[in-house]
A = this chain, B = another copy of it.
Amino acid sequence: MEAIHPQTGALIRKLESIAHLTPEETAALQRLPLRLKTVAADQDIVSEGDTASECCLIVAGFACRYNVTAEGKRQILSFHISGDIADLQSLHLTVMDHSLSALIPCKLAFIQHDDLRALMGGHPRLGDLFWRDTLIEAAVFRQWVVNVGRRPALTRMAHLLCELLVRLRAVALVEDHAFNLPVTQADLADAMALSNVHVNRVSQELRKMGLIAFQGKTLRVLDWEGLKTTGEFDPTYLHLAKKDAL
């Protein structure tokens, strides 16, 4: 009998936010064999071109997936937080078509593909749930396209912050509409396809509007309704099971 791994706590919370888990399924998740590791800030966890045989669960920290264009511009494709398996797709797409990198020092737990396959074999509903998770991820990418493609900078930033708040709340990392956002403005710029200078200006504007406030690296949402409105934020695309408190 394998030990119960507390590092799966956030993962279980996250999965419970998108579907119901039975006690057996929870227990099976907690018994997943993990290879723990910590990485420093700005370090690649998996690089474009790698072929993976394990998936990376974020236990604590902030990571992102990104691509770099020929002109050397970085585009961040998604942010990843506690509870995310940031490269679940590697289960069926062995070659990485992008890189995964730590934005701040991260605690990671690697899970062998074979162990995941065994888990899904024994618990088909978990297989479906992981599939569902990757589909939600794809929905987030779609919104990212809309955001980057068609929304002006102010709306764009508001939308991104709304998404982060809702996702962080699902893993209990939001308290009283405030959460830790330990990334730089340059990171946000690469996520929103803006320049760091413009992110700075837009951030100031959101503060002047009384929607948000920064206390060091923690972001406090002062006017949630206002932020949702200026961000045109509709959480449907996150496909949460519990629609409360949105």
Residues of A within 8 A of B (CB): 49, 65, 67, 69-71, 73-75, 77, 89, 92-93, 95, 97-98, 128, 131-132, 134-139, 141-146, 148-151, 155, 192-193, 232, 236-237, 239
Residues of chain B contacted by A135 (CB below 8 angstroms)? 89, 92-93, 134
Q: In the complex the two chains form, what is the Cα distance from A91 to B158 in whole Å?
A: 31
Task: Tell me whether B70 and A232 are in contact (CB under 8 A).
Answer: yes
Residues of B within 8 A of A193 (CB): 148-150
A70-B232, A239-B95 given as contacts; is B146 within 8 A of A144 (CB)? no
On whether the beta carbons of B145 and A69 are closer than 8 Å, the reply is no
Instruction: Identify 6 residue pairs between A and B in the complex whose beta-carbon atoms are under 8 Å apart, listed by A's number.
Output: A65-B142, A71-B150, A75-B146, A89-B139, A97-B139, A97-B143
Name the distance in Å between A111's Cβ and chain B's nearest Cβ.
17
Task: Give the nearest-CB partner of A130 in chain B.
Answer: B131
Across the interface, do A142 and B92 meet the contact criterion of CB distance under 8 Å?
no
B residues near A151, Cβ cutoff 8 Å: 69
Contact of B148 with A69 in the complex, beta carbons under 8 Å: no
Alpha-carbon distance between A138 and B135 when the two chains are bound, in angstroms: 8
Report whether B236 and A146 are in contact in the complex, using a CB–CB cutoff of 8 Å. no
- Point out which of A67, A128, A143 has the most chain B C-beta atoms below 10 A from its C-beta: A67
**Cβ–Cβ contact B93 & A136, under 8 A:** yes
Residues of B close to A98: CB separation below 8 A: 142, 237
Distance, CA A135 to CA B132, complexed state (A): 11
Shortest Cβ distance from residue A168 to the other chain B in the assembled complex, whole angstroms? 20
Min CB–CB distance A190 → chain B (angstroms):
8
A232 with B149: CB separation less than 8 A: no
Give the distance to chain B from A27, nearest Cβ to Cβ, in Å.
23
Q: Are A239 and B93 in contact (CB under 8 A)?
A: yes
Which B residues are in CB contact (< 8 Å) with A77? Answer: 142, 145-146
A92 contacts B128, C-beta separation under 8 Å: yes
Residue of B with least CB distance to A239: B93
Nearest B residue (CB) for A95: B236
Contact B137 A97 (CB under 8 A): no
Within the complex, what minimum Cβ distance (angstroms) separates A100 from chain B?
12
